[in-house]
Amino acid sequence: MRDQECGGPELRLPFAGFYQTAHEHQFDLAAESAGVDPDAVDWPVVRLGYAQAYMREVSKLIGVGMNFSRVSSPDFYNFGTDEILVRVAPDRIRALHAGVLADPDQAAAFRNRVRAELSPRAGFAPYFSADLEDWGPVGAWEPSQLSLLLDHAFARVGAEETGIAESLFDRTLELVAGALRPDARADRSEEPSP
């Protein structure tokens, strides 16, 4: 019941993270274009706004309504990467699942994705079966299984993170220009005029 009250379970969007990715590159370009010292930017504010804009773009691309939940960032990037977590209502999940399974090619592609992602290999013992048929009804799936469905929906529309990052440049520029730390704004106002 709690998932339904919050708009569905918390799912991970397809997202490579911020650290050393196309998204961070857009941040660098935006700071340079805005003429802003990167050290003067409140980057957590920028990341949050960017993650929300990224979610809206992914939602449009895959045709599934979702609500932003949060950004999860690791303490150390050698152990993981940033995740954008969203909530998707159960009826929208069921509709997405039904749409994938209604198309024989997409159903086969999703089965193959599950098999590729969850087949045991050196250093990886999956928790879930690599056979989609073993998963049962979509309403009983766990968030990581549902996130794999979102990954598949993202891939089937040909979406690419680099393209999304580039399409969000104007929004990124606004975020960077508007997220100067208060102490940095004071420093800029004290600069002499030419």
pTM of the model: 0.86
For the segment 72-94, what is each residue's pLDDT rounded down to a tens digit?
Answer: 988 888 888 999 999 999 999 99
Tell me the C-alpha distance between 136 and 138, whole Å. Answer: 6
* Helix or strand holding residue 86 (H, E): strand 83-87
Which distant-in-sequence residues (6+ apart) come within 8 Å of 18 by Cβ? Answer: 24, 27, 47, 73, 81, 82
**pLDDT score at 50:** 97
Q: What's at 50, amino acid-wise? A: Y
Which distant-in-sequence residues (6+ apart) come within 8 Å of 104 by Cβ? Answer: none
* Structure tokens, 26: 């857009």
Check: CB of residue 175 under 8 Å from CB of residue 50: yes
The answer on pLDDT for 2 being more than 80 is no
The answer on pLDDT for 22 being more than 70 is yes
Residue 125's pLDDT band (cuts 50, 70, 90): confident
Tell me the C-alpha distance between 16 and 138, whole Å. Answer: 25
**pLDDT score at 83:** 94
For the segment 27-54, what is each residue's pLDDT rounded down to a tens digit?
Answer: 999 999 999 999 999 999 999 999 999 9
Taking alpha carbons only, the member of 25, 69, 71, 30 closest to residue 47 is: 71
**pLDDT score at 181:** 87
Q: What is the mean pLDDT of residues 3-28?
A: 85
CA–CA distances in Å: residue 5 to residues 2, 32, 77, 92, 96: 5, 42, 33, 15, 20
DSSP string, 152-165: HHHHHTT--HHHHH
Tell me the C-alpha distance between 49 and 124, whole Å. Answer: 34
For the segment 129-150, what is each residue's pLDDT rounded down to a tens digit?
Answer: 889 999 999 999 999 999 999 9
Which distant-in-sequence residues (6+ apart) come within 8 Å of 100 by Cβ? Answer: 106, 107, 110, 149, 152, 153, 156
Give the whole-number percent of the chain exceeding pLDDT 90.
75
Alpha helix positions (H), 63-189: 90-102, 104-118, 143-156, 161-167, 169-178, 182-189
Mean pLDDT, the chain, integer: 89
Cβ neighbours around 175 below 10 Å, total: 24
**pLDDT score at 185:** 53
